[in-house]
Structure 1
Amino acid sequence: MPRVRKQNETMSIARLAKHLGLSEGTVSRALNNYPDIAEKTVARVRKAADELGYRPSTTARRLARGVVETIGFVLPARDGHQIDPFLAEILDGLATELALSDWDLLVSAVPDGHDEVEVMDRLIQSGKVGGFVVARTKRHDPRIDFLRTSHIPFVAQGRTENCDDYAWLDIDNEKAFVDAVNYLVGLGHRKIAYLGGDPELNYAWQRRAGYLAATKANGCDIAPGYMHDGITNELAAREAVLEILKLPDHPTAILCVTDAVAIGAIHALAHAGIDVGSEMSVIGFDGLPMGEAIHPGLTTMSQASYQIGREVGRIVVAQANKANSPASVFSQILWEASLTVRGSANPPALKLAANAKGGIS
């Protein structure tokens, strides 16, 4: 029967080691998952620690292991400092996973006049972080170039064009947009416009490539004015839709680089008197909860944002805990997006509403 500790008695590694008849070093290494300790011993030590109420000192553990158990996340700089709902989902999952491992998350913003690399360098030099998670990767990303030479564990949510030598988890963005175009074509659409993101961001570039490949494969002509890059917020989406509605030959569907852009497009179309889902179909990408809340519900290519955050958290902690493993071994994971069908995408109507001819006022 487990011994019940007195209320004022503090269970230490020394007391735990004495109770088990093991050395303090063995107990400490077992609690910290050192590979030279037998699994049977690790299980025995952990069972006794649970029964006797041992709680390790976070500070002592970190000093003993020489690991800063804090992961840094530098918020990507954005015009106007808008909140990115996708990143919020990633951070939620990341923070949850780190907490389960008794690690901390340090989120840092980029001050005006600085860049993300400066902030990362400052955090490393101050000893505040033991690793990084990088999001919204660019095709050629100076953050990745910096971290490659920093000798600190890091994981990218996304990839760069050259991604062979670091850990990442990404969505197959190109395939996702091939699937989205194929779905629209299957509904009967042949005139499909595209609201794309910043071409410097790798995910936006890949989604653009998927749209171009699938429209070509399906024999869909991309009329002048159908493609708009650099659409990063609702206002930009509204302006792009205004331009599209001025075209003599309207598209019957709009494929959007993110859910946020798609929702901006839906609002703009509704403002122009166009019945979204009936007169004009719209598809987004992300699978964010807000897409289900609007009317009509947003058809979207869904990615498991929260689970992505959890997974990159597991990868970066494992990487930090295995600092002596071969540098050539990296977790590189490619997930697929899945189509979530709602009311915003349907077979094309015969024509747009007459009151849409004037565009958006």
Structure 2
Amino acid sequence: MALLEGVQAGLFEHGLDLVILLARKGEDGETFLRRHIARGTVDGWLLSGTQHEDARIALLLERKIPFVALGRTASASDYAWIDLDFEGLVAQAMALLIADDHRRIGLVAPPATINNSHVVIAAYRAALAGAGLTVDEGLIHRGDSDEHDGEAATRQLMSLDRPPTALLLMGETAPVGAYRALRSLGREPGRDIAVIGLRDNPTCRALSPDLTCFTLDLNALGLMLAQQLVAILGHEDGDMPSPLQHRWPMELRARESHHVLAPRA
């Protein structure tokens, strides 16, 4: 809601309104978008949930329809986007864990269809390589990254012959499932295994020990998305400067869950 409030505030300044259009569960995003383009439902678009290969972006570029994407894609480059700085996030988290002598770090990432999954995994591999560590592909899990997947992924990773001594969970609620799985296995987060989550969201604030994760100003992010879309709408006749492409910073909140006394290989 904080993100949407920021978007609405930025649009309201220019006499525009935010209309939220939700596709039905399982509905193809391109089909949904084509239907609303044909109806002329809106003047411009803010796209979320960007895919690695995103036909929606290609369609909007082809039709010259104003839009800004919340996220990147591999299928196009010359368009306006604002994305979370997943590269910086992973680099900070991995540096923290490696400095604490962790050498086997499990990564729970989104599905390969989601673009940030590729960004996160590339940054994870780069961090290990930079520290002179070998990448073990068995420590990388791709899934829905929700609470249920966080639990299943944690059980899978901890069942390895050489389980991880730390977990980096790139899902909003994945840490909730990870905590539950670890405790069912007799392992205590923040004591027996280090855990770092993605974002300081309300669901994870109830976890104990307090989750080490990242925070961002969602209202300000929404405002910037709106401002960029308004700028594009104001240049529909041409003379549009290069599209804004910006990685939104996230701040590390180092709490208790990443501390362990002695990592085990």
Match in the other structure for 2:185: 272
Give the Cα–Cα distance (whole angstroms) in 2 for the partners of residues 348 and 247 of structure 1. Answer: 21
Match in the other structure for 2:210: 297
Whether the 8 Å CA contact 1:193–1:222 is kept in 2: the answer is no
Helix, strand or coil for the counterpart of 1:106?
coil
Structure exhibiting the larger radius of gyration computed from Cα positions: 1
Helix, strand or coil for the counterpart of 1:104?
coil
Match in the other structure for 1:318: 231
Bigger relative contact order (CA 8 A; separation at least 6)? 2
TM-score (norm 1): 0.67
Structure 1 residue ranges without an equivalent (≥5): 1-87, 353-361
**Residues 308-340 of structure 1: per-residue CA shift (max 9 Å, x gap):** 222101111221123224256312222332211
**Residues 243-299 of structure 1: per-residue CA shift (max 9 Å, x gap):** 122223221100111232223212221333321111111111233243333212211
One-letter amino acid matched to 1:240: A
Match in the other structure for 1:331: 244
Match in the other structure for 2:195: 282
Give the Cα–Cα distance (whole angstroms) in 1 for the partners of residues 263 and 177 of structure 2. Answer: 24
What does 1:1-361 align with in structure 2 at a 5 Å threshold? Answer: 88-111=1-24, 114-223=27-136, 225-327=138-240, 329-349=242-262
Whether the 8 Å CA contact 1:171–1:303 is kept in 2: the answer is no
Cα-Cα RMSD: 2.3
One-letter amino acid matched to 1:132: W
Helix, strand or coil for the counterpart of 1:264?
helix
Structure 2 residue ranges without an equivalent (≥5): none
How far did 1:92 drift?
3.6
Give the Cα–Cα distance (whole angstroms) in 1 for the partners of residues 163 and 77 of structure 2. Answer: 42
Whether the 8 Å CA contact 2:145–2:169 is kept in 1: the answer is no
- In 2 relative to 1, CA 281–106 (structure 1 residues): closer, same or farther, beyond 3 Å? same
**Residues 200-226 of structure 1: per-residue CA shift (max 9 Å, x gap):** 211111011111111122133444632
TM-score (norm 2): 0.89
- In 2 relative to 1, CA 120–162 (structure 1 residues): closer, same or farther, beyond 3 Å? closer
- In 2 relative to 1, CA 179–351 (structure 1 residues): closer, same or farther, beyond 3 Å? closer
Matched pairs, number: 265
- Return structure 1 stretches of 4+ with deviation > 6 angstroms: none
Identical aligned pairs, as a percentage?
Answer: 29
